[in-house]
C-alpha cells in the first residue's frame, strides 16, 4: 500500500501545477482578490500621475477561455483595463477563464470583492455578464465584443429579438462592439493591390460574427480594387477551442491556398493564424495580421507581415473604463469604428514593409478610410457580412 503514496503525491502535485498554470482559473485569482492589493498595479509605478478629476477605481477583468498571453484579444483588453486603472490611481486584477462553465463564477469573484468595474472579454461571456450586471446595479460592466440583447424585462434574450432597450434596462452595462468589416476592408485593399497572381486567401478560426465580418470586409475591399480577384477562405474548425488554437492546421490550409497561387494571406484565426503567417513567410509571400499589430507581437514573422487589420482593443477598453471614473459611462451596445475617438479600427504600422505600400495604394486606403469614417462606404457591400454572403 505504501506504493500508492507515490501516485497520490504525484496526482496532488499535478493538481497544484494545473492550478498555477492556465488551468483552474477560479482558484488563483480569488486569493489576491480578497486580499485586495493586487501586486501588478502596486509594483509598477503608474507612468502618468493620477488625474485629480478621476475617482480611483478597482477594475477586474474576466478573460475568455484561453490564455492571457494570446498576443491578441485577451491580452490587449487586459492591458487597456490595467492602463485605465493606473491612470485613475486605482487597482486591477484579472481572472483567466478556463472553461465556458466558469464565466459566471469568475464574474462573481470580482463582485464579492467589491470591484467598481468588471470587464468581460468575448462574445460567449455576454449572457453571464448581462445577468450579473442586472443583479448588481452598483457595479459597472464592460463587455468586449458583446452586443447587449435583452427582452422587455432586461433578461438576456436567446432568440436575439432584442425587444428591450438595454441602455435603460441595464444602465450599468456597456457592450463594446467593433466594426471588424472596416479593418477587413482596408486589409482587402492592401491584399488585392499587392497580389500579382490575382488570388488571395484568408483563414478563419471559427465562423463567429467577428471572423465573418473581417472576412467579408476583406473580400469586398479586395474586389473594390480588382473585381476579378479570387478570394479563398476557409474556416479552420467549427469548434472554437480547436479553430483558434491549431497552428499546424492553419499552416496546412495556408499551404493549400499557396498551392492554388494565393500570394497574400490574411489570418483571422488567433493562434491558428500564426501557422498561416509562418507559411506565408516560408514561401516569401505577404501575410496580414489581425486584431493587434502582429509585426510587434510576432517579431520573428515581422518580415512578412505587411500590416495588421486592427481593432484598437487596448485604447477602446481603456477609454471605456476611464469613462466610469469620469462619470461619462454610456450604457447599451456601443459600436466602435473608424469614426470613434480614439479611432477604434485601422491598419497597423507597415514597419519594415513600408516600401511595399506605394503612394497609389496609400491613396486608395486613405480614400476608403475617409469613406468609412463618413459612413458613405459600406464594407458589408456588395457581399453581406454573413456566412452565406447574401
Q: Which residues are near other proteins by CB under 8 A? A: 3-4, 6-7, 10-11, 13-15, 17-23, 67-69, 201, 207, 232, 234-235, 237-239, 242, 245-249, 251-253, 255-257, 259-260, 271, 274-275, 278, 282, 298-300, 387-388, 390
What gap in Å lies between CA 383 and CA 390, rounded to an integer?
Answer: 6
For other proteins, the closer of residues 75 and 136 by Cβ is 75
Pick the closer one to other proteins by CB: 20 or 354: 20
- Specify the residue, 151 or 237, whose C-beta has the smaller distance to other proteins: 237
Question: For other proteins, which is the closer residue by CB, 253 or 338?
Answer: 253
- Three-state secondary structure call for residue 375: coil
SS3 (DSSP) at 280: helix
Minimum CB–partner distance for residue 382 and other proteins (Å): 16
Q: How far is 201 from 61, CA to CA, in rounded Å?
A: 34
- Our separate counts of H helices and E strands in the chain read 15, 12
Instruction: Closer to other proteins by CB, 43 or 388: give it.
Output: 388
Query: Least Å distance between CB 335 and other proteins?
Result: 25
C-alpha cell at 174: 456597456
Of the candidates 110, 149, 104, which has an alpha carbon nearest to the alpha carbon of residue 129? 104
SS3 267: strand
Residue placing its CB nearer to other proteins in the complex, 45 or 248:
248
State the minimum distance, in angstroms, from the CB of residue 214 to other proteins. Answer: 16
Q: Least separation, in Å, of the C-beta of 133 and other proteins?
A: 30
CB of 245 to other proteins, least distance (A): 6
C-alpha to C-alpha distance for 215 and 99, rounded to whole angstroms: 27
- Residue 186: CB minimum distance to other proteins, A: 24
DSSP strands (E only) in 32-77: 58-62
CB atoms within 10 A of CB 363: 10
Amino acid at each position: 500500500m505504501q506504493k500508492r503514496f507515490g501516485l497520490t503525491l504525484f496526482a496532488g502535485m499535478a493538481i497544484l501545477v494545473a492550478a498555477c498554470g492556465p488551468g483552474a482559473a477560479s482558484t488563483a485569482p480569488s486569493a489576491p482578490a480578497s486580499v485586495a492589493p493586487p501586486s501588478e498595479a502596486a509594483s509598477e509605478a503608474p507612468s502618468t500621475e493620477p488625474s485629480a478629476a478621476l475617482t480611483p477605481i478597482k477594475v477586474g477583468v474576466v478573460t475568455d477561455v484561453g490564455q492571457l498571453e494570446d498576443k491578441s484579444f485577451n491580452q490587449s483588453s487586459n492591458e487597456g483595463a490595467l492602463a485605465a486603472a493606473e491612470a485613475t490611481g486605482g487597482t486591477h486584477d484579472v481572472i483567466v477563464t478556463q472553461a465556458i462553465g466558469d464565466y459566471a463564477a469568475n464574474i462573481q469573484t470580482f463582485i464579492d470583492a467589491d470591484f467598481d468595474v468588471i470587464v468581460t472579454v468575448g462574445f460567449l461571456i455576454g449572457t453571464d455578464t448581462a445577468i450579473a450586471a442586472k443583479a448588481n446595479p452598483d457595479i459597472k460592466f464592460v463587455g468586449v465584443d458583446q452586443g447587449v440583447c435583452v427582452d422587455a424585462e432586461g433578461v438576456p434574450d436567446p432568440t436575439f429579438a432584442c425587444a428591450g432597450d438595454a441602455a435603460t434596462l441595464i444602465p450599468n452595462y456597456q457592450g463594446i462592439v467593433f466594426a471588424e468589416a472596416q479593418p477587413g476592408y482596408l486589409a482587402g485593399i492592401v491584399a488585392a493591390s499587392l497580389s500579382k497572381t490575382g488570388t488571395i486567401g484568408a483563414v478563419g478560426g471559427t465562423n463567429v460574427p467577428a471572423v465573418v465580418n473581417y472576412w467579408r470586409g476583406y473580400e469586398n475591399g479586395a474586389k473594390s480594387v480588382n473585381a476579378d480577384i479570387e478570394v479563398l477562405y476557409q474556416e479552420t474548425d467549427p469548434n472554437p477551442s480547436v479553430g483558434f488554437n491549431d497552428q499546424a492546421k492553419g499552416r496546412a490550409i495556408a499551404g493549400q491556398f499557396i498551392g492554388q497561387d494565393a500570394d497574400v494571406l490574411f489570418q483571422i484565426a488567433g493562434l491558428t493564424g500564426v501557422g498561416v503567417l509562418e507559411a506565408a513567410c516560408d514561401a516569401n509571400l505577404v501575410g496580414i495580421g489581425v486584431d493587434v499589430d502582429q509585426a510587434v507581437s510576432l517579431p520573428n514573422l515581422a518580415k512578412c507581415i505587411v500590416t495588421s487589420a486592427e481593432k484598437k482593443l487596448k485604447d477602446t477598453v481603456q477609454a471605456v473604463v476611464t469613462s466610469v471614473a469620469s462619470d461619462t459611462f454610456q450604457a447599451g451596445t456601443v459600436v466602435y469604428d473608424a469614426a470613434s475617438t480614439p479611432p477604434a479600427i485601422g491598419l497597423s504600422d507597415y514597419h519594415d514593409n513600408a516600401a511595399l505600400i506605394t503612394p497609389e495604394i496609400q491613396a486608395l486606403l486613405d480614400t476608403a478610410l475617409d469613406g468609412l469614417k463618413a459612413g458613405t462606404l459600406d464594407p458589408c457591400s456588395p457581399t453581406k457580412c454573413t456566412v452565406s454572403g447574401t
